[in-house]
């Protein structure tokens, strides 16, 4: 099965600058192109488009944290390939605390 335009949405506590800094590891070994707020990962029949919302802020008292909504669109990838991509992506952006 090859779902067309499968869509996921995530709210991430990250700035655009930090998102783009971590992106190469998150999408490896695929190549990507950034055009404004859209990122195209891969080429040919199997592509992933990532769209970033305008950067916002979450305020907690005096603390301000960046927030970006991220939309994922998959074309030509089967369910297993989408799951593999999202697992790697989420692992690459996971932050530890303690």
Averaged pLDDT for residues 4-30: 91
CATH code (residue 21): 3.30.1370.80
Q: Would you say residue 98 lies in a domain?
A: no
Asked if the structure places residue 38 within a domain, the reply is yes
- pLDDT tops 60 at residue 1: no
- Model pLDDT, residue 3: 52
Q: How far apart are CA 66 and CA 63, in angstroms?
A: 10
Give the pLDDT of residue 43: 78
CA distance 21 to 26: 10
Q: pLDDT value at position 84? A: 94
**Residue 40 in domain:** yes
When divided into structural domains, the chain yields a total of 1
Q: For 67-77, what is each residue's pLDDT tens digit? A: 999 999 999 99
Is 89 inside any structural domain? yes
**Please, what is the average pLDDT of the chain?**
90
Residue 24 lies in a domain: yes
The whole-model pTM stands at 0.87
Residue-number span of the structural domain to which 13 is assigned: 4-93
> Alpha-carbon distance 73 to 59, whole Å?
29
């Amino acid at each position: 099965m090859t779902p067309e335009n499968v869509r996921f949405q995530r709210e991430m506590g990250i700035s655009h600058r930090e998102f783009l800094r971590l992106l190469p590891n998150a999408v490896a070994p695929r190549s990507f192109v950034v055009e404004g707020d859209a990122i195209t990962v891969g080429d040919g029949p199997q592509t992933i488009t990532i769209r970033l919302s305008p950067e916002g802020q979450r305020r907690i008292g005096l603390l301000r944290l960046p927030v970006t909504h991220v939309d994922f669109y998959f074309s030509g990838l089967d369910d297993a390939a989408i799951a593999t991509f999202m697992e790697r992506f989420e692992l690459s952006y996971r932050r530890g605390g303690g």
